[in-house]
Structure 1
Amino acid sequence: MSRPQEPHRPFFPFGNPFRMISPKGSYLSPKLLALLNAFEETLAGRIKNLKPAGREDVLRLSWMRCAMETLCEIHTDIKTLITALELPVCDWDDKWIDVYFDNSVKLLDICIAFSSEISRLKQGHLFLQCVLHNLGDASSKQFVRARSSLDGWRQHMASKNPRLDSCFCVMDGLAQTLDLPKIKNSAKGKVLMRAMYGVKVVTLLVCSIFAAAFSGSAKKLTDLQVPETHLWAAAFADLQSFVNTEIRSMYTSGKVTVLTELEAVDTGVKKLYPVVQDGMDPVEAEVLQNSTSDLGKSADKLSQGLDLLAKEVDKFFQIVLNGRDALLCNLRVGGNASDQVRANKNIGSPRVR
């Protein structure tokens, strides 16, 4: 979706983007407009880079890892903006702080749910390893064990993760806080709240995509409408439409899972199961060897992809947690929020498991 060409205007091609969120006659200095413009242009670029190259790339684990990397970058961008605004916490309105803490704890809960589901999927790899190990010796006894492990994998994949259900409620709560707080007497506050709106919208979209991928349902996909006054609105609408349309199409076609690497493993299991179900004739030796090899390759890709994705989810968790720590520390001791962001950049905390 391309934006119609318009004559060049300073800072914003759509006129004053604050017309809908600030009283008539309110003033933002050129410096603040430049800061906001730079933030939104960067956000637009990150969203454009996140769009999958083709339909086959939607919900590959490699794309999901890139999506989580993008969230890490965007949340780091908002910290950089806070630093540039030089907005002391003592000047923050209580409602800004309340919204920030409320949203951040919701994001931490979502990260925990995603980490839990990734761990559950990784546990399924143990069954596949047992299958491959047992088929190394083509005896009837080993075939029985291989079938048992295949059944165990199927049952494990069919099980439900209760943390995902709670994640849906958290996401609903996050969506209800998208509206911008009313800002009256703080030009810097207007810039901050508008930038945070962009961060929240993109974060919610990515989280809804992850939830759809992990849950086996497209019901929780979001379809957010963003005002065109935002420089990143067209890129966001393009990404949302493309990814959501493809995911819904996948589920409509009857796919059990829309995760590309997991689907490949499921296909390999279905192909291998009949071969080991009733034993093996000599003529089927090559079929068994090929099926086992294919399953081993797809299982390795799934395991490696999950490991990399887990690291990015943990990294995002740390970024959100460090932001909370920075603000909490600042509220206790007073001072400048940007200083605390820098001071708490490398704060560590337990990894989510």
Structure 2
Amino acid sequence: MSLPQDPPRSFFPFGNPFRMISPKGTKLSPKLVAVLGAFEETLEERLKKLIPKSKDEVVSLSWMTSAMQALCDSHNDIKTLMTDLKLPVTDWDEKWIDVYLDISLKLLDICNAFSSELSRLNQGQLLLRCTLHHIGSSSPDHLFRACSSLDGWRQHISSKNPRIEKCGSILDNNLVESSDIPKVKKSPEGTVLMQAIYGVKALTVFVCSVFVTAFSGSTKNLMDMDVADVYSWAPAFKGLQNLVNEEIRIRFSSGKFTVFNELEAIDLSVRELYPIVQGVVHTIEKESHAKTVERLGSVTENFSQGLDLLAKEVDGFFQVLLSGRDALLANLRSVTLGNDHILGAKSDAQVAN
């Protein structure tokens, strides 16, 4: 992974496209105020839970798994909110529908890229398992194979994933530029929906930018969002973003090849073991040698389990996005069929007259 020293950049260089989009003069009923308040309170609690208790949790696979869980739950909440608001698809602006479908499609692309990277990392840990298998023998042939496996791991882990490299442009050119979502026919229910989507989209872009940064090994895709203080969840969001982004930048500036805690632990163990399998360093104490091997086995197992859990959550987010698109398209088809039926009835009436 590379070590670029990219300066912090504002997420919104030309102003905040996530600005308040409530139509002027639109007043919410006490019921809608309560619905929106409950939604934003839940979002705030999720953001607070994602704030690491210590810098050591940034960026761990367990934290990334929790972040992906928060995305799944928040996007599911949007689907539930749409049902509770009883906002018919016929009230949706056609342009908004196009934007929604385009955004969800781009997020599906990002999920696929994340899945491919997790699969690539999983393949890398298989090389470490090969090393551990051969290191148990003192024969020169097995030590040679162990050394070869470590070389293969180093090359594999430092290589680039082209699909991850494309995620940065998706975040910049698609998700950000399409963030100024049109109003939903100035209805109070539409206002609530748009404000809820605003919060979920802010969380989505933040999490995706952190994932892309961690996977690519570069801070060029790390985004700093300027969220308006009018939202109750804004302080929690800013606290989370500032802590995570600052720690990531510190780690890269200190020369670390990765921000992953688990990968950093593996790298340290590999550096201790590599001279031994090369035969450059002859460990006199067998106990010391055994501890080095045991430590690599432990961090490799921890890495493997973390990858599996995160991969499941990424797949879960993919399914949530897919089901949301399917539900909207099904509603659109039912509306179209309904309109065709009405038009047909009118046509028959005209013929009868």
Give the structure-1-normalised TM-score.
0.86
Q: Equivalents in 2 of 1:204, 1:20: separation in Å?
A: 17
Partner AA of 1:260 in structure 2: N
Give the aligned partner of residue 30 of structure 2: 30
Match of 2:99 in 1: 99
CA RMSD of aligned residues (A): 1.6
User: 2:161 corresponds to which residue?
Assistant: 161
State the distance in 2 between where 1:184 and 1:83 align: 18
Quote how far apart the aligned CAs of 1:180 are. 3.6
Separation in 2, partners of 1:118, 1:219: 20
Task: Report the equivalent of 1:195.
Answer: 196
| Residue 319, structure 1, aligned to residue 312, structure 2 | no
CA distance in structure 2 between the partners assigned to 1:279 and 1:231 by the alignment: 59
Moved more, 124-133 or 173-182: 173-182
1:225 is aligned to 226
Range with bigger deviation, 89-98 or 106-115: 89-98
Larger radius of gyration between Structure 1 and Structure 2: 2
Please give the secondary structure, in 1, of the residue aligned with 2:219. Answer: coil
CA change 1:52–1:281 in 2 (3 A) is closer
Contact 2:283/2:289 (8 A) holds in 1: no
Is 2:52 the partner of 1:69?
no
Distance, in Å, in 2 between the alignment partners of 1:34 and 1:95 is 28
Matched residue of 2:221: which SS? coil
In the alignment, residue 334 of structure 2 is paired with which amino acid? V
Do 2:61 and 2:307's aligned partners in 1 also have CA atoms closer than 8 Å? yes
Alignment TM-score, normalising by the size of structure 2 = 0.86
Quick one: percent identity of the two aligned structures? 57
Q: Which moved more, 1:123-132 or 1:286-295?
A: 286-295
C-alpha change, 1:282 and 1:307, in structure 2 (3 Å) is: closer
Which letter maps to 1:235? A
Other structure's SS at 1:53 match: coil
Q: Distance in 2 between matches of 1:95 and 1:35?
A: 26
Q: Deviations over 1:136-168 (max 9, x none)?
A: 211111111111111011111111100011111
Stretch deviating more after TM superposition (150-159 or 91-100): 91-100
How many angstroms apart in 2 are the aligned matches of 1:281 and 1:154?
22
Distance 1:78 1:23, change over 3 A: closer
Between 1:22-31 and 1:214-223, the stretch displaced more is 22-31
2:276·2:283 contact (CA, 8 Å) conserved in 1? no
The corresponding residue for 1:216 is: 217
Counterpart CA distance in 2 for 1:114 and 1:59 is 15
Stretches of structure 1 lacking an aligned partner (at least 5 in a row): 1-18, 336-353
* 8 Å Cα contact 2:26/2:187 also seen in 1: no
Contact 1:113 1:167 survives alignment (8 Å): yes
SS in 1 for 2:218: coil
Provide closer, same or farther for how the CA distance between residues 89 and 137 of structure 1 changes in structure 2, counting only shifts above 3 A: same
Measured against aligned partners, the alpha-carbon deviations of 1:26-68 in whole angstroms (never above 9, x if no partner) come to 2222221211111111111111111111111111111110010
Q: Which residue of 1 aligns with 2:44?
A: 44
- Which secondary structure does the structure 1 equivalent of 2:136 belong to? coil
Q: Which of 1 and 2 has higher RCO (CA within 8 Å, sep 6+)?
A: 2
Q: Which residue of 2 aligns with 1:343?
A: none
User: Which residue is 2:345 aligned to?
Assistant: none
Q: Is the 8 A contact 2:92 2:185 kept in 1?
A: no
CA distance, structure 2, for counterparts of residue 280 and residue 40 of structure 1? 58
Distance 1:165 1:105 in 2: 18
| Structure 1: distance between partners of 2:82 and 2:61 | 32
Q: How far apart, in 1, do the equivalents of 2:238 and 2:182 lie?
A: 23
**How far, CA to CA, are the matches of 2:326 and 2:267 in structure 1?**
42
